[in-house]
């Protein structure tokens, strides 16, 4: 028998010794939000059990209402991004951590696969871009990235080649056969940019641009949503929720480093968010070790660490003459370095996933195999 409908969605502890008239006043005030409230008499303390749609009550400061001591929401908020248990979860309650796949053309990102997205920060001259796209393809990467519209801190810095860059990307797509990732800055450009892009990037600075997120929610275009560099995981997931709740389920999350108070560096790659996101959402998670480290020499190590943390892919910036790059040259790998890195990441992913599968295999005696115990 299913008891779930009998359980209250919200439990409220009233202040000890609260007079009956005040108890009824709190009950009626809550009921005015369209929920069903019943008073439960306890010993010395009374409670309110609330049934129905309590979502609008979440943003109210219930604890500060006169007569309320504590409010406890018993269920998680009903969000589209929330991971729900699947048939693949084991009976001991371990939630399967494989992401759902987001289809980008022929490529499935997530769902157990590992993808590498690479390319220059910005699209520059056509010849260079085509050369880089060929190198990215030859390295075994899956998608080619390059910014056409660049969100720069200074209005005087290179802003991207705009429409001209979109034409170059279309050519790179045709010649390399790779799908294209490029950033969307303006809700008015969605149609134009997505005529070239297979995956639309929403940059860190735009994670909070709710008009843009709502606009993308109205489409079915795959979106690479980068984490705001000062955002909590909750803010990140709620930004994704804007897109999903609009009707577009095709969102891939990207950790790209967060601001750090330490004096020596402005950005720290937060790899701890990868397992956290895997636990909380079914959406694929990729990691950008380039913006997350700001210096090329750190990129291979952080890319390997991202695989170990469970990322479904990485996004890496590449340039053939980093010292000449119009943006983010310091963090760009050379095509040769990329070529060396990709097979390492693929092997590492294969190794870790096989090891994980082995670890979860129950032994005949009913216990779970653990390599830790054997050592
Ligand atoms: C980029 O990918 O080039 C970029 C601008 O990234 P972010 O939004 O993470 O700074
Ligand atoms: Mn960049």
pLDDT digits (tens, 9 = 90+) for 108-131: 999 999 999 999 999 999 999 999
The mean pLDDT of the chain is: 91
Query: 101-358: what fold?
Result: TIM Barrel (3.20.20)
Q: Tell me the best of 203, 269, 270 to mutate to test the pocket of ligand 1, counting ligand atoms within 8 Å of each CB and taking the most.
A: 203
Give the pLDDT confidence score for residue 96 in this predicted structure: 60
Enumerate the CATH 3.20.20.70 domain ranges in the chain, comma separated.
101-358
Percent of the chain with pLDDT over 70: 89
Enumerate the CATH 3.30.70.1140 domain ranges in the chain, comma separated.
10-73
State the ligand closest to the CA atom of 256. 1
pLDDT digits (tens, 9 = 90+) for 336-350: 999 999 999 999 999
Supply the pTM of this predicted model.
0.86
* Contact assessment for residue 282 and residue 88, using Cβ atoms and an 8 Å cutoff: no
Question: Beta strands 258-259 and 267-268: pairing type?
Answer: antiparallel
Lowest model confidence (mean pLDDT) among 57-61, 75-79, 109-113: 75-79
Which residues, other chains included, contact 194 with Cβ-Cβ below 8 Å and sequence gap of 6+?
Answer: 184, 200, 219, 221
Give the pLDDT confidence score for residue 374 in this predicted structure: 36
CATH code: domain 10-73 is 3.30.70.1140
What mean pLDDT do residues 136-151 have?
98
State the ligand closest to the CA atom of 255. 1
Atom of ligand 1 nearest to the CA of 205: 8
Is the pLDDT reported for residue 361 higher than 90?
Answer: no
Per-residue pLDDT band for 64 (boundaries 50, 70, 90) equals very high
Is the pLDDT reported for residue 4 higher than 90?
Answer: no
Percent of the chain with pLDDT over 90: 82
- Rounded to 5 degrees, φ, ψ at 293 are -130, -25
Query: Alpha carbon 364 to chain centroid distance?
Result: 38
Give the pLDDT confidence score for residue 166 in this predicted structure: 98
Q: Tell me the residues surrounding ligand 2 (ion) with CB < 5 Å.
A: 121, 328
Give the pLDDT confidence score for residue 261 in this predicted structure: 79
57 CA distance to ligand 2 centroid (A)?
A: 41
Ligand 1: residues whose CB is within 6 Å? 121, 147, 151, 203-205, 226, 256, 291
Atom of ligand 1 nearest to the CA of 291: 9
What mean pLDDT do residues 65-84 have?
89
Atom of ligand 1 nearest to the CA of 201: 2
Nearest protein CA to atom 9 of ligand 1, as residue? 204
| C-alpha span between 193 and 180 (Å, rounded) | 10
142 CA distance to ligand 2 centroid (A)?
A: 18
| C-alpha span between 54 and 76 (Å, rounded) | 11
Name the residue among 160, 146, 242, 278 with its Cα closest to residue 199: 146
Q: List the beta bridge partners of residue 13.
A: 47, 70
- Crossing angle (nearest 10°) for helices 210-217 and 233-246: 40
Give the pLDDT confidence score for residue 355 in this predicted structure: 66
| C-alpha span between 34 and 55 (Å, rounded) | 11
């Amino acid at each position: 028998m299913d008891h779930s409908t009998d359980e209250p969605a919200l439990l409220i502890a009233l202040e000890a010794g609260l007079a009956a008239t005040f108890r009824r006043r709190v009950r009626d005030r809550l009921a005015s939000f369209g929920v069903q409230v019943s008073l439960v008499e306890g010993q010395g303390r009374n409670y309110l059990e609330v049934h129905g749609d309590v979502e609008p009550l979440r943003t109210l400061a219930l604890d500060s209402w006169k007569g309320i001591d504590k409010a406890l929401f018993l269920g998680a908020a009903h969000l589209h991004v929330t991971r729900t248990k699947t048939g693949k979860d084991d009976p001991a309650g371990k939630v399967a951590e494989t992401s759902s796949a987001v289809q980008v053309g022929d490529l499935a990102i997530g769902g157990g696969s590992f993808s590498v997205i690479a390319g220059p920060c910005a699209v520059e001259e056509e010849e260079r871009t085509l050369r880089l796209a060929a190198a990215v393809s030859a390295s075994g990467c899956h998608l080619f990235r390059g910014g056409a519209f660049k969100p720069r801190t200074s209005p005087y810095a290179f802003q991207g080649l705009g429409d001209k860059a979109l034409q170059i990307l279309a050519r790179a797509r045709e010649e390399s056969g790779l799908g294209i990732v490029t950033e969307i800055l303006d809700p008015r450009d969605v149609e134009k940019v997505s005529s070239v892009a297979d995956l639309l990037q929403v940059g860190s600075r735009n994670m909070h641009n709710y008009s843009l997120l709502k606009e993308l929610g109205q489409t079915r275009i795959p979106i690479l949503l980068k984490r705001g560099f000062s955002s909590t995981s909750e803010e990140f997931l709620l930004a994704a929720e804007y897109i999903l709740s609009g009707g577009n389920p095709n969102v891939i999350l990207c950790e790209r480093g967060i601001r750090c108070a330490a004096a020596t560096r402005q950005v720290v790659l937060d790899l701890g968010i990868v397992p956290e996101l895997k636990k909380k959402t079914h959406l694929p998670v990729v990691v950008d070790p380039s913006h997350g480290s700001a210096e090329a020499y750190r990129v291979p190590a952080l890319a390997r660490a991202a695989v170990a943390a469970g990322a479904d892919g990485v996004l890496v910036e590449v340039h053939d003459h980093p010292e000449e790059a119009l943006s983010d040259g310091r963090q760009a790998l050379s095509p040769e370095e990329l070529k060396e890195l990709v097979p390492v990441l693929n092997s590492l992913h294969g190794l870790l996933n096989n090891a994980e599968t082995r670890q979860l295999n129950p032994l005949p005696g009913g216990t779970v195999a653990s390599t830790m115990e054997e050592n």
